[in-house]
Amino acid sequence: MKVEKLSVKNFIRCAACGAVLTSAVFLLVLYLTTRNLYLVFYGLILTAALLLWGAVFLCYFQRKLALFTDNLCRTLDDMMNSTARPQTDYEAETILARISFRLERLYHVMQQNRAVTAKEKSELQSLVSDISHQTKTPIANLKMLNETLLTRSVSEEQRREFLQASESQIEKLDFLIQAMVKTSRLETGVITLEKKYTRIGETLVTAINGVLASMEKKQIELSVECPEDLLVCHDSRWTSEALFNLLDNAVKYTPDGGSIHVTVQNWEMYLKIDVADTGRGIPENQQAAIFKRFYREESVHDVEGIGIGLYLAREIITMQGGYIAVSSHAGKGSTFSVFLPQR
């Protein structure tokens, strides 16, 4: 019989039989050697006493083990139900205390995993809710336009207007999906930023090229102050995306004929990039909320946008060890400051 398959009770029985057999052989040898019955009698008494105390010890150990097993099962059930934490006696120096200590560590790990899971579930629910809310309007508009074209006779000019409106809604959906894909990949770690020393001027030019058309349309004046050949350790592609979002935000909320001023300053620990505009500004009580995903002020719903640009910009800069600050006063424009670490 293998030791792994031998039960505790059978092991105790075998050990008891072995002890009795060993004692009998020992007493027989002792009698044959000394021919003294008194020694054999005393030996029997000693053997019986040892067996008795052994039985008492086994009963105590079995009871202690049963109590520990019950407590362990109850503790594990409570841990799985997240209703209680295991109690640990830090002064005890026993095997059971060591097991209890590890159970407490396991409990903390399980609690942390539950917290992470709950947070991820909450974020997923929030994301699904945000996507549902943002896609509801363009999808409803597309359904209405499509139904109109299918059920009504319209002129060629009206048909062209409906198709242009449909194209506008499709572009909005495409922009929303692309923004959500970028955000999701950054948040889940699918995309990792690769920092290397690159000219910040090149990154800035790439971002500015994305808003030149909309700036020219609104006749917004742009001025840039950036040291030449300034190398900074950053991910050029994604930093350009963040700066583009800040510039695009500035163009949207700056009236026709306004101005945008971009300044790059080389500090000792950080590189500071200011994007200042002459737009409508942001009230102080709303400045803490503008970086939330899909957040938009009630007063700016007439301006095109979905409220994800600032959120995406902050995520990109934060992942590089930097941060974004905002300074603004209602009616006096806004300044978004990007701080990128030098290393």
* H or E segment and range at residue 141: helix 95-151
pLDDT, tens only, 125-141: 766 676 676 677 778 88
Q: How confident is the model at residue 325 (pLDDT cuts 50, 70, 90)?
A: very high
Instruction: Examine the domain organization and report whether 235 and 318 are in the same domain.
Output: yes
207 and 325 inside one domain: yes
Q: In what helix (H) or strand (E) does residue 38 lie, and over which residues does it extend?
A: helix 37-81
| pLDDT bracket for residue 148 (50, 70, 90) | confident
Report how far residue 55's alpha carbon sits from residue 58's, in angstroms, rounded to the nearest whole number: 5
Residue 93, pLDDT score: 52
Does residue 242 share a domain with residue 152?
no
105 within domain boundaries: no
pLDDT of residue 264: 93
Name the domain count of the chain.
Answer: 3
Q: For the chain, where are the E strands, in sequence order?
A: 196-199, 221-225, 231-234, 259-266, 270-277, 323-328, 334-341
Classify each residue of 24-34 as buried b or exposed e, where b means 16 or more C-beta atoms within 10 Å of its C-beta.
Answer: eeebeeeeeee
Band of residue 56 on the pLDDT scale cut at 50, 70, 90 = confident
What tokens does 51 get?
A: 């067996």
Per the prediction, the chain carries an average pLDDT of 79
**3-state SS assignment for residue 266:** strand
Candidate from 207-211, 259-263, 327-331 with smallest mean pLDDT: 327-331
* Residue 206, domain member (yes or no): yes
- For residue 182, pLDDT over 50 is answered with yes
Both structure tokens of 306: 């979905």
pLDDT digits (tens, 9 = 90+) for 273-322: 999 999 888 888 787 788 877 665 655 444 555 567 888 889 889 989 99
CB atoms within 10 A of CB 254: 21
Confidence of residue 2 (pLDDT cuts 50, 70, 90): low
| Average pLDDT of the segment spanning 322-341 | 90
Tell me which residue range forms the domain holding 169.
Answer: 126-188
The domain that holds 315 is classified in CATH as 3.30.565.10
Rounded Cα gap, residues 330 and 326, in angstroms: 13
CATH number for the domain spanning 157: value is: 1.10.287
94 or 318, which is more confident? 318
DSSP string, 147-181: HHHHHS---HHHHHHHHHHHHHHHHHHHHHHHHHH
61 belongs to a structural domain: yes
Same domain, 255 and 334: yes
C-alpha dihedral over 329, 213, 180, 309, to 10 degrees? -10
pLDDT at 307: 67
